[in-house]
Structure 1
Amino acid sequence: MIVADGLEKTFWHRPNAKGVLGSFRALFSGVGSAKKAVESVSFAIEEGEFVGYLGPNGAGKSTTIKMLVGILHPSAGSVEVAGMSPQLQRREVAKKIGVVFGQRTQLWWDLPVRDSFEILQAMYQVDEKQYALAMERYDDLLELGSFINTPVRKLSLGQRMRADLAAALLHDPAILFLDEPTIGLDVVAKERIRGFLKEINRVERKTILLTTHDMDDIAELCQRIIVINHGKLVMDGSLSALREQIGLPTTCTVQFASTPQIQQIRGIERIETNGMQVQVFYDKRTISTPVILDEISKWGDPLDITLAEPEIEELIRRIY
């Protein structure tokens, strides 16, 4: 559904100059420097995948998305979306994709939400039956009814994001591009939007590419993650594969009934104690969890045992 092959984008930066005359001189002088925002990025996303596209600020995430949807032209390499070029077949591709930029809206600011939907219906030539079915489904999933007649400028951020998601899906696109869709939202609004995205991915088999800095979005939604840094792709795989690659320790926390008689276990990284609580840090690639639990049971009478995988924030930080 989405193919990027050797994708690159270079921007030309000219030095700032004082005054109008200085600006004209800088414009035509040819003096400046080239900066590669995206460099030799290649990946393929299949139908129905939910993929997280991650990277620190300035890594090239939004630039990549803009090339995938046809807003920017690549400096090198190629893009295919639904088998077409977003740059050469922009109208055809627009019918196949929905796009949500979390910090911008495609809704008309001073119009009620319903009017924006009807304008988009006309733009995409959605027939009345399809439009009615879409409105019924997305009203049910996103609870649009309470604010559909409210001007967009009066909506809360959470309401506006729900309306933007519905707007992006009115023409029933096969592919959805999301750039920071939960930015600035409270916990309740985030959970509502995550639940909605899970539903359309599972039931409607929408292919979704998500950029976000919220690691809870990634942990709850994405089956696969692609990591970009300094414009270059540095990782592409599942979250479990990422954990394997980075090799951060699993933590086993044990609460004992009495002071434990701790003994060293070959192959673990470290042991930390706090009264009758013990934490054992170990790499599952070198020693298995059953072996750890068997050894710990010899230290005393465990009341409670908790296993925790490495936090996704720490995994991503290590990659960056």
Structure 2
Amino acid sequence: MTDPIIDVRELRREFVVHTPSGKWLRRNRTTVNAVDGLTFDIPRGAAVGYLGANGAGKSTTIKVLCGILAPTSGTARTCGMEPVRHRKRLARQLGVVFGQRSQLWWDLPLRESFRVLGAIHRLAPATLQRRTEELIDRLDLGEFVSTPVRQLSLGQRIRGEVAAALLHSPPLLILDEPTIGLDVLSKERLRVFLTEQRQLHGTSLLLATHDMGDVQRLTERILIVDHGKLAYDGTLTGLAERVGAERVMVLQLAGPTRPLDDIPGTRLLDVESGGSKQRLSFVPTDTTAARILELVGRHAQVNDLTLEEPDIDDVVRRNYLRSAEESMRG
């Protein structure tokens, strides 16, 4: 059995915070558990979303996995290595993008940054040239690859950051808020590229983000962390079922129809166009779309229908509330 690319066991990371005490030159000393007993693993080739509110412990976890911070207790292994102990070796197996920080040289053209990074990773000239051209093509960098980084737009710079992180073809890519501040077109371009890279190179992905569009498009599993603790580990569908999130069936009927407010297992949301368009919500664990369609068909002819998935931000919020309620009961 292949070892996981990330393996975390009872990981804790504490910080000491000093706050004014109200007395002359006195400060209170408080210990904060940024990461509090996390345990999870990620198989090689997987794509996992890492979610949580600001201050939940996401960035601290990533810094431990990269070797920037040492654990207070517990263990973390990345690409089979202890991150702090083997930080230099790990750097060759790992690509990281922090949305608010840059690994590019501010005054150098983007292509020159790639050359410097290629030398740092000790890539052969032919390998560097081939990989650089591949990334320029895949990420549409050609128009600005000779432009100094300081002159790039945010979207252009983020694409350059992702290319820099993948220049040495690492088996693991960690992204911390990579699409923050990007416009819709730039986000979509980046998502398509990351999907292609996983298909072409089998790259493992850990994505920490607040953008639910990124999570839906790029990952097949999510981890939710709350106050440093793991609150959920599973699929988006499983999370929606856990909190009772509703799907919405939008029905286009053959003609005006009375409000369908008596369909078992559903809730009528609204009626439009004299009743020829109606929206019904339902909880997937209580009934199915096929059963609803069968029941609706007894009252009206259905010409078309669409299904709207639950709002992911709302699903995550509900999970936090449910976890808090379970903690209070416990």
| Range of TM-score over shorter length | over 0.9
Deviation at 1:88, TM superposition (A): 0.8
Aligned residues: 312
Q: What's the RMSD between the two structures over aligned residues? A: 1.9
Q: 1:252 — aligned with what?
A: 249
Q: Pick from 264, 267, 272: which aligns with 2:265?
A: 267
TM-score by length of 2: 0.89
Given that 1:258 and 1:301 are in contact with CA atoms closer than 8 Å, whether structure 2 keeps it comes out as: no
Q: Pick from 37, 58, 61: which aligns with 2:58?
A: 61
Q: 1:98 — aligned with what?
A: 95
1:39-188 aligned within 5 A: 39-188=36-185
Given that 2:249 and 2:305 are in contact with CA atoms closer than 8 Å, whether structure 1 keeps it comes out as: yes
Given that 1:36 and 1:231 are in contact with CA atoms closer than 8 Å, whether structure 2 keeps it comes out as: yes
Q: Pick from 10, 19, 24: which aligns with 2:14?
A: 10
Q: What are structure 1's unaligned runs of at least 5 residues?
A: none
Deviation at 1:302, TM superposition (A): 3.0
Deviation at 1:253, TM superposition (A): 2.0
Please identify, of 120-129 and 251-260, the stretch whose mean Cα deviation from structure 2 is larger: 251-260
Please identify, of 190-199 and 289-298, the stretch whose mean Cα deviation from structure 2 is larger: 289-298
Q: Using the alignment, how far apart are the partners of 2:287 and 2:192 within structure 1?
A: 36
Letter matched to residue 303 of structure 1: N
Q: Does 1:310 align with 2:314?
A: no
Deviation at 1:263, TM superposition (A): 6.1
Q: Pick from 208, 213, 229: which aligns with 1:211?
A: 208
Q: 2:240 — aligned with what?
A: 243
Q: Does 1:234 align with 2:231?
A: yes
Please identify, of 296-305 and 92-101, the stretch whose mean Cα deviation from structure 2 is larger: 296-305
Q: 2:282 — aligned with what?
A: 282
Please identify, of 279-288 and 192-201, the stretch whose mean Cα deviation from structure 2 is larger: 279-288
* Superimposed CA distance per residue, residues 272-319 of structure 1 (whole angstroms, 9 cap, x where no aligned partner): 434313222222222222221111112223333222221222211212
Deviation at 1:266, TM superposition (A): 3.1
Deviation at 1:17, TM superposition (A): 8.5
Q: What are structure 2's unaligned runs of at least 5 residues?
A: 321-330
Given that 2:107 and 2:148 are in contact with CA atoms closer than 8 Å, whether structure 1 keeps it comes out as: yes
Given that 1:270 and 1:282 are in contact with CA atoms closer than 8 Å, whether structure 2 keeps it comes out as: no
Q: Using the alignment, how far apart are the partners of 1:262 and 1:232 within structure 2?
A: 44
SS at match of 1:15: strand
Q: 2:325 — aligned with what?
A: none
Given that 1:113 and 1:151 are in contact with CA atoms closer than 8 Å, whether structure 2 keeps it comes out as: yes
TM-score by length of 1: 0.92
Q: Using the alignment, how far apart are the partners of 2:104 and 2:21 within structure 1?
A: 37
Q: What is the percentage of aligned positions where both structures have the same residue? A: 42
Q: 1:262 to 1:183 in 2, by over 3 A?
A: closer
